[in-house]
Amino acid sequence: MQKTYRFKIKDPNPGKIAVLRYLAAGPWRKELNFAVEMAKGHRPGTAYDLHPFIYTDLRLFGLSSQLACACRDRAFEAYQSHQELQKSDPGSPLVPAF
């Protein structure tokens, strides 16, 4: 499944657009996959339960604190929806990937 997000960049300039493309293409996706794998291993009940296992690593990978928390929340959301999907369809893949 592929998701598309729309957003506005206030005062767009080539530098902001280049940073956004770099972030979306590499680090953000890698960190989401890392966070989902950690969620699979630790089986958190809430996104905040996942926080101590991934936050420091996400910050070391170069994400800002707000992006690290957004990544944590998005990964937990994907993990939780995947858990619900597996209850109804046991043949689904083992873990979501971005």
Is residue 41 within 8 A of residue 1, CB to CB? The reply is: no
Alpha-carbon span 90 to 65, nearest angstrom: 36
pLDDT for 38 beyond 60: yes
- Residue reference for tokens 């070391």: 60
Residue 33 lies in a domain: yes
Residue 69 lies in a domain: yes
Residue 5 lies in a domain: no
Q: What is the pLDDT of residues 40-91, one digit of tens each?
A: 888 888 888 989 999 998 888 888 888 888 889 988 988 888 888 877 777 7
Predicted local distance difference test score (pLDDT) of residue 73 = 92
Alpha-carbon span 11 to 34, nearest angstrom: 32
- Residue reference for tokens 């910050």: 59
Cα radius of gyration rounded to whole Å, the chain: 15
Residue-range definition of the domain harbouring residue 68 = 14-88
Alpha-carbon span 30 to 50, nearest angstrom: 17
Predicted local distance difference test score (pLDDT) of residue 1 = 57
Across 7-35, average pLDDT: 77
Residue 94 lies in a domain: no
pLDDT for 98 beyond 80: no
